[in-house]
Structure 1
Amino acid sequence: MTDRIPSFRRLAVALATAVLISAGTPPQADSDRGPVTNLPLPRYVSMKAHEGNVRRGPSLTHRIDWVFKRRDMPLQITAEHGHWRRVQDRDGAGGWVHYALLSGVRTVLVEKEMLAVRASPAPDAPITAHFELGVVARLSSCTLRWCRISANGYRGWAQKQFLWGVDPGEVLE
């Protein structure tokens, strides 16, 4: 009986050590996927609500750092925890927002003053409108260099490099 106790203790110590070593390391998973939704991370969404509290952590007990006040504003989700999503805006400012305040509808932020919006995805296509810097536009589709966007009844193709809310290599149909 005494021979078994030391081996049991060795096993218990080995297990406890393994638990302590792995406690600080998150489980190995596909780091490109959210642990809650299994959707890609990072990814773009938009604000569904007119206002959304941005918290320091993923719960109602965490302090509100600020409030997003622009419906349809594009945001980038960088992490997930339960019903909470860590988001950031174009300037990198962000925090934790409840998922109910977010929408999967894709929007973009115009990053160029008087951005030419064209009838087709070509630099010599006729201009259908000009969008001011800071306009939030709905995103319809994208090629490697152009995106079809619309805002306030105007629509057309804009060069992707002047839009925030879509990745450079992203293609949307």
Structure 2
Amino acid sequence: MRLTLIALTLASLATLSLLPHGAAFSQEAPAAEEEESSSGTAGEGPAPAAAAPVARSGSKDCPPGIGCVTRRPLPRYVSLKGAEARARRGPASDHRVDWIYQRQGLPLKVTAEYENWRRVEDSEGAGGWMHFALLSNNRSAMIMAEMADIYDAPGGHGSLTARAQQRAVVRLLECQPDWCRISAEGIRGWVKKSDIWGVEPGEVFE
């Protein structure tokens, strides 16, 4: 039996691009973001405004584990809506850009909210603040195992139908306590939840 290999694409190799301090950023900002400073470069121009206060989950205004803006759970997982987005040091468009994400569908974890901004983390714990319009509620996951086996049924009792390489990004369709059903490159099947990043250990959804 010939197995399909879900490989790491060239686009996902550039998932994270560190923007050095003072480096010019000549690409046009995504339409969903607010206008850049007049200098046209990241890390230059007027000093960024002081970080805005963030109402934290568990304060008197927010129940524990609930976002103060959306009233949705924190943390929670989302995905990158477009092919590129900037993560900033604070929740405003005049804060310095620390990271540029270049992988549509990349899973991200929302850890805080402030007005129209969400603080997100990637699978390595890096991240920053993004405008909510750059994020999608569609669920995805990143393969963390060196090679993840994909079965046609959960529990590892079904037939092995494909394998996915480490850091490949897949769509999440549903999750059971220990297994998740995924889709990628026309393949659908079940992987161990421990082999992916983008879902909480005990999270179950359809």
Pair 1:97 & 2:130 matched: yes
Letter of the aligned partner of 2:130 in structure 1? V
- Structure 2 residue aligned with 1:82, among 95, 115, 125? 115
Q: In the alignment, what sits opposite 2:85?
A: 52
Give the TM-score of the pair, scaled to structure 2.
0.70
Offset, 1:159: 0.6
- Which structure's residues are more often helix, by fraction? 1
Ranges in structure 2 where 5+ consecutive residues have no aligned partner: 1-54
User: Where do 4+ consecutive residues of structure 1 move more than 4 Å?
Assistant: none
Q: How does 1:3-82 map to 2 (within 5 A)?
A: 27-28=59-60, 29-82=62-115
Q: In the alignment, what sits opposite 1:129?
A: 162
Give the TM-score of the pair, scaled to structure 1.
0.83
Ranges in structure 1 where 5+ consecutive residues have no aligned partner: 1-24
CA RMSD of aligned residues (A): 1.2
Greater relative contact order (CA < 8 Å, ≥ 6 in sequence): 2
Offset, 1:123: 1.5
The count of corresponding residues between Structure 1 and Structure 2 is: 149
Q: d(CA) in 1 for partners of 2:79 and 2:99? A: 17
The percentage of counterpart residues that share the same residue type is: 47
- Which structure has the greater CA radius of gyration? 1
Q: d(CA) in 2 for partners of 1:89 and 1:35? A: 22
Pair 1:151 & 2:184 matched: yes
Q: d(CA) in 1 for partners of 2:111 and 2:97? A: 18
Pair 1:120 & 2:156 matched: no
